[in-house]
Amino acid sequence: MTAQQTDTPGTLQLALAQIRVESGRVEANVERALEAIERAAARGADLVALPELFNVGYFAFDLYERRAEPFDGETFTRLRDAAAEHDVAVLAGTIVEDLAETEAVETPADEGLANTAALFDANGDLRLVYRKHHLFGYESAESELLVPGERLETASIGDFTVGVTTCYDLRFPELYRELIDAGADLLLVPSAWPYPRIEHWETLSRARAIENQCYVGTINGSGRFPDADATLLGRSTVYDPWGVTVASSGDDPTLVTADIDPGTVERVREEFPALRDRRL
- The string of pLDDT tens digits covering residues 197-247 is 999 999 999 999 999 999 999 999 999 999 899 999 999 999 999 999 999
DSSP summary character for residue 189: E
Q: Any idea what the CATH number is for the domain that residue 23 is in?
A: 3.60.110.10
Phi, psi values for residue 276, rounded to 5°? -70, -25
Does 278 reside within a domain?
Answer: no
Q: Is residue 18 part of a domain?
A: yes
Task: Answer yes or no: is 226 within a domain.
Answer: yes
Give residue 4's pLDDT. Answer: 42
H or E element in which residue 85 lies: helix 74-86
State how far the Cα of 58 lies from the Cα of 165, in Å rounded to an integer.
16
With respect to residue 277, please indicate whether it lies within any of the assigned structural domains.
no
**Residue 5 domain-assigned?**
no
DSSP state for residue 84 in the 8-state scheme: H
Average pLDDT over residues 114-137: 97
pLDDT at 2: 47
Tell me, yes or no, whether 185 lies in a domain: yes
Mean pLDDT score, 116-120: 98
Q: Cα angle vertex 109, ends 107, 110, to 5°?
A: 100
Residue type, 178: E
Q: Please determine, for residue 3, whether its predicted confidence score (pLDDT) is greater than 60.
A: no
Residue 279 domain-assigned (yes or no): no
Q: Which of 81, 116, 90 is nearest to 102 (CA)?
A: 116
Residue 178 C-beta-side C-alpha neighbours within 13 Å:
13
Our measurement of the distance from residue 231's CA atom to the centroid of its chain's CA atoms, rounded to an integer in Å, reads 19
Catalytically annotated residues: 52, 132, 167
* Confidence category of residue 10, pLDDT binned at 50, 70, 90: confident
Q: In whole numbers, what is the pLDDT of the chain averaged over residues? A: 94
Is residue 3 in a domain? no
Q: Does residue 15 register a pLDDT over 80?
A: yes
4-22 average pLDDT score: 83
Q: Which domain covers residue 133, as residue numbers?
A: 12-271
Total structural domains in the chain?
1
The mean pLDDT of 2-30, rounded to a whole number, is 84
Task: Tell me the pLDDT band of 179, cut-offs 50, 70 and 90.
Answer: very high
